[in-house]
Homo-oligomer: A and B are copies of this chain.
């Protein structure tokens, strides 16, 4: 069975990666700082967040080029967060997508500063190459990233002890760590494109639920899948004694929670139905449900 979401994200990947390279080059950052930023920006990944912003642009029928600086700014932020998450003082991961993480390929000081530059220069893309609604979207964007968003989620994840984690606390951590940047990628993108407030709210509700579903599905696969099927190492949560959804309420309970969140995300989007791109958004939810089934 074909999934419109998977088809569409595959079709966009090269375009997103070309734009990431183009904007980084336009900033004219010299030497090792440029190299470290490019190393991590070009390390692959699904390009999910920029894709979501492009899908919002298409769903709203706006010109594609209008969203590209905003879409790439999201990937700058996502990349900065991965570089800092991998640092020895945080997750201490030597590998990222099968390659040495930034602080291993370069040095720890360079990795910290490359993350800092990607964080700041995400805003350079908005200020210098963007023609969207800067004030409205910028507010969403900065809120989703800083001390009320993704960075706060990371602090929660670093400070809430495993033995105190409940389903409610996991939702809370996942919301800040993942949903917030999904919200920037959808509701924030809509704000950038001057969408109506009810469209922005619908996308916020969609992204909030899908972000949480995405994380729970990831936790399930870490238990039920194999390294071959998933294409990345499994079993790392158990090795670290991490308290995740499946640990708290079992695999089936966690699968039900994913289905519930996907259902809520799809329901939130109903007012926006009417074109092919609406089906792409629905396809993202289906994809999350499918990967659980296929890889388990």
Contacts and interface: CB of A to CB of B under 8 A. Distances in A.
Which DSSP category, helix, strand, loop or mixed, fits chain A's interface? Answer: helix
A155 interface: yes
A112 B80 CA distance: 12
Contacts of A143: 124
Contact of A123 (B123, B154, B159): B123
Interface stretch (A30-38, A196-204, A212-220): A30-38
B147 A33 contact: yes
Contacts of A139: 124, 127-128
B89 A109 contact: yes
A148 B29 CA distance: 6
A151 interface: yes
Interface stretch (A46-54, A113-121, A239-247, A275-283): A113-121
A142 B127 contact: yes
Contacts of A135: 127, 134
A252 to B, nearest CB: 33
A145 interface: yes
Contacts of A118: 147
B90 A147 contact: no
A127 B113 CA distance: 24
User: Is the interface on chain A under 10, 10 to 19, 20 to 34, or 35 or more residues?
Assistant: 35 or more
Interface string A144-161: 011110011011001100
Nearest to A115: B116
A138 B73 CA distance: 15
A152 B29 contact: yes
Contacts of A109: 89-90, 158
Nearest to A119: B119
Nearest to A144: B120
Contacts of A37: 147
A87 interface: yes
Contacts of A126: 138
Nearest to A130: B135
A238 interface: no
A120 B138 contact: no
A116 B145 CA distance: 9
A261 B146 CA distance: 37
Given A113-B154, A113-B155, A134-B138, 9 more contacts: A29-B152, A33-B152, A87-B112, A110-B158, A112-B112, A117-B147, A123-B138, A123-B142, A124-B142
Closest 10 A/B residue pairs (Cβ)? A120-B146, A117-B147, A29-B147, A89-B108, A121-B146, A127-B138, A124-B142, A127-B139, A123-B142, A33-B155
Interface of A: 27-34, 37, 80, 84, 87, 89-90, 107-110, 112-113, 115-121, 123-124, 126-128, 134-135, 138-139, 141-143, 145-148, 151-152, 154-155, 158-159
